[in-house]
Each structure stands twice: as structure tokens, then as C-alpha cells.
Amino acid sequence: MTADGAQAPSLPGLVARVAVRRAVRPAKDRPPRDRQPAATLPVARVAVDSPLPHLDRPFDYLVPAELDEAVRPGSRVRVRFAGRLIDAWVLQRLAASEHDGRLSYLERGVGDEPVLTAETTALFRTVADRWAGTFADVLRLAVPPRHARAESAAPVEAAAAPAPPDPAGWARYRAGAAYLAAVRAGRGVRAVWNAVPGEDWPARIAEVTQATLAGGRGVLVVVPDVRDAARVDQALQAVLAKGAHVVLSADLGPEARYRRWLAVRRGTVRAVLGTRAAVFAPVADLGLVVIWDDGDDLHAEPRAPYPHARDVAVLRASMTGAALLVGGFGRTAEAALLVESGWAQPIVADRAVLRAATPRIVALGDDVELERDPAARLARLPALAFRAARTALAAGHPVLVQVPRRGYAPALACARDRTPARCGHCAGPLAATGRQQVPSCRWCGRPAADWRCPSCGEGRLRATVVGSARTAEELGRAFPGVVLRTSAGDAVLADIPAGPALVVATPGAEPVAPDGYGAALLLDGWALLSRPDLRAAEEALRRWANAAALVRGDGTVIVGADASLPVVQALLRWDPAGHAERELADRRELHFPPVGRMAALIGAPADVAELLSLSQLPDSAEELGSVPVAPSRGAQPGEQVRSLLRVPRPDGVALAEALHAAAAVRSARKSGGPVRVVLDPLELF
């Protein structure tokens, strides 16, 4: 050891290090040594900002007398923790600690305003527990980084409460006007709202917002993307005073983002509109949470612990007693469960209202050739679709053409009736992996040698191929002289000018037409329906409904899918609620979310196995097996597997707790590599 001169620190080296330390931290910047604890409530219970799961518990510190004022529940502080200085948040002030050992003093306060409220503190803890994550992880999603300049800027005057809204828009819905009145009265009414086609939904959301503010309570509106936020923002500006609401979105820039967030925390602004992270905004005296189009996968947070904005909204409403409005043109199985359990009431239009608002919807027949080749599909677009497009264009209206997005994974389905092929053991999707002959389950990996279609008995499988398309080009040829616009990928159009045009868009990127589209051609049917995903049908219906909702009541929608399919029937009859009920029944039979609760563990095989072996899972937990997956972005290269666990819904919290506890043991041991734990993953293939 001593022979190795390079390893042993030399005396000059030590002297130099001491000198550097002096220079970095002069004695006068250090807190005084003779600190005294604050006279009252001298103990601060804090949560430390550490990603380690075993440190996700409270720690107690002494509050020095000089920090007595600054250290309040919710304050950011710096503490010395295992030697290093780290950030922490004050959860409570206490008279005494339960900790046996000696308490350290808090080092200093950060900023002079609390960032957590009693309500958000409880919410973040519950969210962490529900998704097997840490408080610090949730906080990172929920609270924007501090910006000192924004903090010291002059506070803005609060806007006065608005007058109550005009109830006419909501009166079209059964229970609509009553809901508006109840929200204004401050009752915690919870509803699942199915908007009628063509609905000016941003205006309806603006009205419920106005009603809540008129009743003196705060409002939170969460939409999938910034395009939707811009539309609702306009609607809010039309009914609210300037400064009565803010838009929170990730693309704001640190200073503006923190300033707006701070105005909300201070209670100066009582209405918040934003994308998924806004669901955590510290709105004071929350009276209503609105979530629009909860089936959009943008509501699923891609960062740990992967909470879903709809589920957070539901938690938050139930924790605070606030009203909840889950709105959309479609309906998810999750929303259907809220209704079925009686926790939320449906808000739907009367059949007559619906009939008047809904465009004519026609399904194309089942045509194998059309499915394979988008160009052929277009070239051979039945006369019906051509006629609908021509009629609309001639009347001066634009025509929407919805085409599949790129990149759907190929999957297997019944060769005869295209029922998606599912595993006989766990009901996961079957796929032809590699060149092997026997297809296998993407979830549990079991081969499916003797598969039979459950609906028709067919034994043969076919790959369902999808393609994006040179659809625009083909269309241009089919309709020469007509203005052609595309909206897809990174070139999404928010709206289009009035007048005849062909608009080719991928699902979710459809621009809004000022007077509605004269026709919509939904060409992505098979691509959507053949996805090897639990939510394929629900998602198809949601996308079709969102596109069809942009069509004028006197217009026509042509859907390129077989009219005999239940999901197509649901579109033809405009019955998203009925479809969601059936979807929920299917999920119940298969014990899938939202009826059951699942957890996906993703990581290196040994790490996943270790986490599983350390987890004291509830007795009800089923292990669905482990399959190789492509390494996720940001993960180190090497083989990755995914294990799926499933429990009945009441055991969901126990499952999350067990996994979190096991992760804590692993992190305390500093053993092994990372394992991602995702509760109720959206994509289950």
C-alpha cells in the first residue's frame, strides 16, 4: 500500500485540499456554532430531496431560532444529511421529535415562500404511494424549479370573482344545467361528460370554470396538449377578467413558469389551465378539477413514478371534496368504472339533441385489398366516400382525411374475422417473434401452438400489417385542383381557413375547421384496431369520435372499417358510453385495469428477479411471467426484461407498497441496477 505512491495522498496534496475548502466556504458564510433552537415548535419534520427509495421517509431537524420565521410547513430548506448539504421540504413543525439520536440543525432556508400547501403535501404523498414512487419524484413533476427573480417580482392584484355563466350551453345535456349550478354552489359533484359531436367544448369548460369562480372556489383544467390548452385559453379569456386564470405548460421557460405557478400558490390566481403536470398545481380552495379527453395517452406522465393525470385528478377530487368533470367525445373504461361504481354521474345529451348534432356516419365494408395498401385503398375508395368528399367540397366545406400514424407494431389476429389473438394463459397479445414458427405471448412468453379464434373457431393467424401513407399525394391526384393540407408529426396545424380543402391528418393532429368539416374519411381503421393493445378498440373509437366531432351536423363521416365490429357499431350509433361499458366488462373478465391493478417491472433480468424476490406481495398477486423487451431510452444497454404482476383492485395500494419497500431494500443495500416500476402501464404489450 505504502509502496504505491500514486494512491497514498501526499502531505502537499492534503494541504492543497484544505486550502481549497477554505476558499470555497469562508468561515463567515457558515452558520454560527452557538445556535439555539426556536422557542416554539423547535423541530422541523422534513422530506429530503433524494432519489433513494429507502430515504423516502421523514427526518427531523432542529430549527435554529434565527430561522424560526422562515421555516414554515411547505418551506424549502437546506439540511446537512449524511455529511452533504441537500434540499429538503418542511412537512410539519413539531414540539418534539420521536428520533432517539441527536438532531442536527437545519442549515438554511431557501426562498421565503412555502412551495407546498397542506393539500398538495398530502396529495404528493398519496400519489407516491399509489404509483410505488417517492415523494421527491412526485415533487419533481409537480413543482417547477425555483426562480429567484420570479419570486421577488411584485405580486399581481387578484381578479374579482366573475358573474355566473350563461347556462344555455350546458342545458343541452341532461343534468348539465344542474351540474353547473351544483359546481357554483360548491358541491363536490363528480361527472363523466360525453360531449355531443360538434360541441364547442372549450366554451363549456370555460362556463364550468366561470361557475366555480363565481362560487368563490378555485379551478383546475387539464388538457392533453398545448393546442387544446390554447383553445380553452381563448374560451376562458372570453368569459373571465384578465389575470383571472393562468396557463401552465412545460414550454414556458423557467422564469415565466415559476412566476405563474407562484401566483397560483399565493392564491392570486384561482383558475389554472394546463397540460398533465398542471394537475398538481397548488390551486387554493379547489372547487373543481376538469380533465378533457382522458383517453389521450399524453395524460400519462412518462417520468417516474408515471402517474396518469386522470387518476391524479380523481384522487385529488376525492381527497379535497372538489367537484370533478371527466369530459371527452369518447369514454374510457376508467371513466366508465367511475360511473358504474356510482362515484360519478354521467352527463350525456338526450337522444334527440344527439341526433340533430351527429353527422351521418357510414362504415365501409370489409375489404382485404383495401387494408393492405393505402394507395390501393384510396384509389378504390368506394363511390360513397368519393361522393361524400365531392359533395362537401362542392358546398364549400373542407374534407378531413384521417390516416394512420407510423410505427404500429405488427401483431397477430384471426385470419378470418380479425379478432386480435390473445394468449390462452394470461390473455396477453400474441406476436410472431423473430423467425420462429410458433407465435408467443408478448406478456408471459408462452408459445401459442394450438390457438383457436374464440369467436369463430378459426385456427389460422394472420399478421395485421399497417402502413403510413403517401396518402396526401394520392388524394391530390384523386381530387385535382383542390387545396391540400397536411397536419402530422412535427407540422401540426391548429386550424384551417374556411373554404374547400382536403386536410390529411394523423389521429390527434386534426385541425379545427371554423364552420366544421363537410366530410371526414377515417382511413386508419384496421391500423388502429389491429394494435396489439388492450385499449385498441377504445382508442380507435376515441380517435374516430374526436375526428367525427369536427364534422358539421349535416356532414358525412366514412369510416374504413367493418360495420359488423362492435366498436364500429358504437361509432355509427354514437354510443361511446355503451362501448365503454362493454369494454369495462371485458376488462373485468380478464382482470385487467381498471378493474384489476397491474405493475410492470422493467430492468435487467437479475435485477427484476431480485426485486420480485424481495417483494412481500399480497397473496392475491399473480405473476404473469417475464418477457424480453427492447431497452428503454436512457437505460444502459444489455438485455432487458419486463415482468407483469396483477392484483385485484383493492390490493393495488398493497402491491405498490410492497414494490416500493423492496426497492427501498435494494437501494439501501446498493445492490444491482435500476428497475423501473410502472403501475397500470398504458401499453400492455
CB of 671 to DNA, least distance (A): 10
The single residue among 35, 72, 78, 80 that binds DNA, judged by CB under 7 A, is 80
Burial group, residue 483, by CB count within 10 angstroms (0-12, 13-18, 19+): middle
Residue 197 grid coordinates = 359531436
The single residue among 64, 81, 403, 584 that binds DNA, judged by CB under 7 A, is 81
CB of 79 to DNA, least distance (A): 7
Other C-beta atoms closer than 10 Å to the C-beta of 375 total: 15
Span 313-372, contacts to DNA by CB under 7 A = none
Provide CB contacts within 8 A for 121, sequence distance 6+.
Answer: 73, 74, 91
CB of 583 to DNA, least distance (A): 45
Q: Could you give the CA distance from residue 663 to residue 55 in angstroms, rounded to a whole number?
A: 11
When the beta carbons of 85 and 395 are compared against DNA, the nearer one is 85
The single residue among 35, 73, 97, 367 that binds DNA, judged by CB under 7 A, is 97
671 binds DNA (CB under 7 A): no
Rounded to 5 degrees, what are φ and ψ at 352?
A: -65, -40
CB of 7 to DNA, least distance (A): 7
Q: Could you give the CA distance from residue 483 to residue 495 in angstroms, rounded to a whole number?
A: 15
The single residue among 102, 242, 351, 435 that binds DNA, judged by CB under 7 A, is 102
Where do we find the cell 363565481? Answer: 214
Q: CB–CB of 231/364 below 8 Å? A: no
The single residue among 5, 12, 26, 101 that binds DNA, judged by CB under 7 A, is 101
CB of 664 to DNA, least distance (A): 10
When the beta carbons of 60 and 87 are compared against DNA, the nearer one is 60
CB of 44 to DNA, least distance (A): 10
When the beta carbons of 523 and 662 are compared against DNA, the nearer one is 662
State the helix-helix crossing angle for 135-142 and 118-130, rounded to 10 degrees. Answer: 120
When the beta carbons of 82 and 160 are compared against DNA, the nearer one is 82
Q: Which of 392, 396, 402, 390 is nearest to 518 (CA)?
A: 392
Q: Which amino acid is it at 21?
A: R
Q: Which residues pair with 61 in a beta bridge?
A: 44
The single residue among 31, 37, 52, 372 that binds DNA, judged by CB under 7 A, is 52
When the beta carbons of 234 and 671 are compared against DNA, the nearer one is 671
Number of residues that bind DNA (CB under 7 A): 26
Q: CB–CB of 422/524 below 8 Å? A: no
Stretch of 98-106, 147-155, 306-314, 653-661 lying at the interface with DNA (CB under 7 A)? 98-106
Q: Which of 654, 672, 655, 657 is nearest to 611 (CA)?
A: 672
Stretch of 75-83, 130-138, 208-216, 562-570 lying at the interface with DNA (CB under 7 A)? 75-83
- The SS3 assignment for 169 reads coil
Provide CB contacts within 8 A for 176, sequence distance 6+.
Answer: 167, 170, 347
670 binds DNA (CB under 7 A): yes
CB of 36 to DNA, least distance (A): 16
Q: What is the CA radius of gyration of the chain?
A: 28
Q: Could you give the CA distance from residue 260 to residue 280 in angstroms, rounded to a whole number?
A: 14
When the beta carbons of 95 and 491 are compared against DNA, the nearer one is 95
When the beta carbons of 12 and 83 are compared against DNA, the nearer one is 83
Q: CB–CB of 346/578 below 8 Å? A: no
Q: Which of 505, 560, 550 is nearest to 528 (CA)?
A: 560
Stretch of 80-88, 176-184, 399-407, 486-494 lying at the interface with DNA (CB under 7 A)? 80-88
Span 5-44, contacts to DNA by CB under 7 A = 7-8, 21, 24
When the beta carbons of 81 and 592 are compared against DNA, the nearer one is 81
CB of 200 to DNA, least distance (A): 54
Span 53-72, contacts to DNA by CB under 7 A = 54-55, 59-62
- Strand 440-441 vs strand 430-431: parallel, antiparallel, or unpaired? antiparallel
Where do we find the cell 428503454? Answer: 632
CA trace torsion 321, 278, 266, 305 (10° rounding): 80
Stretch of 67-75, 81-89, 324-332, 617-625 lying at the interface with DNA (CB under 7 A)? 81-89
Stretch of 83-91, 282-290, 335-343, 632-640 lying at the interface with DNA (CB under 7 A)? 83-91
Rounded to 5 degrees, what are φ and ψ at 132?
A: 55, 35
The single residue among 1, 23, 154, 630 that binds DNA, judged by CB under 7 A, is 1
Residue 365 grid coordinates = 365494408
When the beta carbons of 42 and 420 are compared against DNA, the nearer one is 42
CB of 83 to DNA, least distance (A): 3
CB of 616 to DNA, least distance (A): 21
State the helix-helix crossing angle for 576-590 and 536-548, rounded to 10 degrees. Answer: 170
Q: CB–CB of 629/640 below 8 Å? A: yes
Stretch of 102-110, 231-239, 449-457, 597-605 lying at the interface with DNA (CB under 7 A)? 102-110
The single residue among 41, 94, 103, 375 that binds DNA, judged by CB under 7 A, is 103
Q: Could you give the CA distance from residue 248 to residue 512 in angstroms, rounded to a whole number?
A: 22
When the beta carbons of 32 and 396 are compared against DNA, the nearer one is 32
Site residues for DNA per CB under 7 A = 1, 7-8, 21, 24, 52, 54-55, 59-62, 80-85, 97, 99, 101-104, 668, 670
